[in-house]
A and B are shown apart, each in its own frame.
Chain A
């Protein structure tokens, strides 16, 4: 049960990363490698501030803003200095390696003894429920873990909702259009460069928020924790798209979050079944493959059963 709760919680935290990648990859069409660095940046800034006794909410906010700043810098490199988008991301990620080390002063910063959103959540859970743990259908469930899960769920819901609202405002629609057809938007008199800079800022802010929350959930920030994050973000986005089969704004947002949670659940199952640890990565790859192929198969089967007659 705890494994399930933790898989769901981590899946939700990673959903923030997936939402960030969704913004850069799907809306602007840029596979933004800054992600690997800004994920760690969010974690390291938050961790350092928590160690210095700053309020965890402020620390989380600072981590998010730092990530957004990094993303905007990537945008500036890309738009103002005309560096290829992929290269700008690589440049920024490389620079962030050193920045993260500077921020943390060392490669690994434990948070277990400090006040974080994680420790707050656990304490709140115990206070509300009045006890350490309770039984659900016979499983022993810790109040703190339920609180963290609900907190993560709340955070993702709020963030996804805000994103949805934002991308329906004038600026948001113009941003989406920038990704689709920059020339048209330029012809309409909008400043495309500003939109790209802002968009990458939002994307990396979300990624950094994910990193910040993960560090607080797992009790330490590590300078290597961001490596490969862009891949998992992309995988979640693509799984989400395959699952919903839609490119409408709301559904892609929900799909990306769902893809991320589903992915963690599959890893949890592989662990629970005690599969050989050396095969873990192979099994995850097979799972992702199935998740990608299954929706298409189901659709094909449906179509075969109820053939659609094209309207003339």
Chain B
């Protein structure tokens, strides 16, 4: 028995040490008698969470911080801001969710669907005000957000939904080439966002009398092959979805489609100069900024229960003349004037990016009703 204990002693000792260290680091989150929330003079604490190190999320988070700063909430001056990123590890996300819901934060801002879910689950008992952004369809996350009534959501949980504009992308493709019939795509069925986009794409194809030719992949290495297989089945254009598995292989897709003389389009305008014919997407920095401004309202005391869950999709269209001219039949893909007018930027035939507008967001941030009742007209 003693021998067994001795053999376990190193492990037990290390565990005790870790528990001790963890508790010591956590001393300041103890409840003091008569303590009502934050101690006087301390800055409000804000946690910003992203699920992974991807540029879309990075842009969203940068936007959130910028939005907060615009409203006068700068890190280390007016607020204490801490960023969390589990790097795609769902178990670390669990730990982070507990840390932010228990760690004395005054506001939690989550980006992406998995982070929303995992924090909302941990937050059920604690009910720390939580804002979400970069979520495609909030009502499908199982967090209690209603599909029909924007004000029907858990009182401590609200935010912006940003549906990936797959349907718009298909409509624009048809607008450019009215004779377009078969569009190919490659996606990973394991990703919620891809699933939503493909569902939208199928619906819009049915509506416009087009056909979606798709192949599925489960790793980035298989994207090239799948693209080639879709092309072999006869398509006129190729849609690159916002899919974490497909995106890293985008150059491979460009190479293969270019060889087959097939134009590509995507929902990420940033990728257009690399070789897409056009891209229509959400400006995630703008979405973040809107969320940051909303966060500022909550920090000023607005009740999250009164904030409706709304869709916010600052549309950004980028067209690529260079990619069009490279096609065998550029006139079939001529950008109509109405589309050029809506575009945020155009890549010139020489390959230079020509920004047409300063404001990337013609949709403008979704207006949220004022927290205070409208002032009565003064006599």
Interface residues, chain A, with chain B CB atoms under 8 Å away: 1-7, 10, 14, 94, 97, 101, 106-113, 122, 132-133, 135, 137-140, 142, 144, 214, 217-220, 222-225, 228, 240, 243-246, 250-251, 254-255, 258-259, 261-262, 264-269, 271-274, 277-278, 280-281, 291, 294-295, 298
Contact = CB atoms under 8 A, between A and B. Distances in A.
A219 B95 contact: no
Nearest to A257: B11
A109 B32 CA distance: 40
22 contacts: A3-B22, A3-B26, A6-B94, A7-B95, A101-B190, A107-B192, A113-B142, A113-B144, A144-B125, A220-B118, A224-B90, A243-B11, A254-B8, A255-B11, A258-B12, A258-B15, A266-B18, A267-B92, A271-B92, A271-B96, A277-B83, A281-B87
B141 A10 contact: no
Interface stretch (B97-105, B259-267, B328-336): B97-105
B195 A106 contact: yes
Contacts of A140: 30-31
B232 to A, nearest CB: 23
B98 A112 contact: no
Interface string B64-90: 000000000000000000111111011
Given A222-B90, A251-B7, 17 more contacts: A3-B98, A3-B102, A5-B98, A6-B95, A139-B29, A224-B90, A224-B191, A244-B10, A244-B11, A264-B95, A265-B15, A267-B91, A268-B99, A271-B84, A272-B22, A294-B10, A294-B14
Contacts of A255: 8, 11
Name the interface size band of chain B: 35 or more
A277 B124 CA distance: 25
Interface of B: 4, 7-8, 10-12, 14-15, 18-19, 21-23, 25-26, 29-32, 53, 82-87, 89-92, 94-96, 98-99, 101-103, 113-114, 117-118, 120-122, 124-126, 141-144, 189-192, 195, 218
Given A10-B94, A138-B32, A222 B114 contact: yes
A258 B7 CA distance: 12
A271 B92 CA distance: 9
Q: Which of B11, B21, B23 has the most CB of A within 10 A?
A: B11
Contacts of A138: 30-32
A271 B127 CA distance: 21
A280 B92 contact: yes
A291 B14 contact: yes
Contacts of A225: 90
Nearest to A7: B95
Contact of A251 (B4, B14, B192): B4
Give the top 8 A-B pairs by smallest Cβ distance, nearest first: A110-B142, A219-B121, A277-B85, A138-B30, A243-B11, A2-B102, A265-B18, A6-B98
Contacts of B126: 142
A271 B96 CA distance: 7
Contact of B7 (A223, A244, A262): A244
A268 B97 CA distance: 11
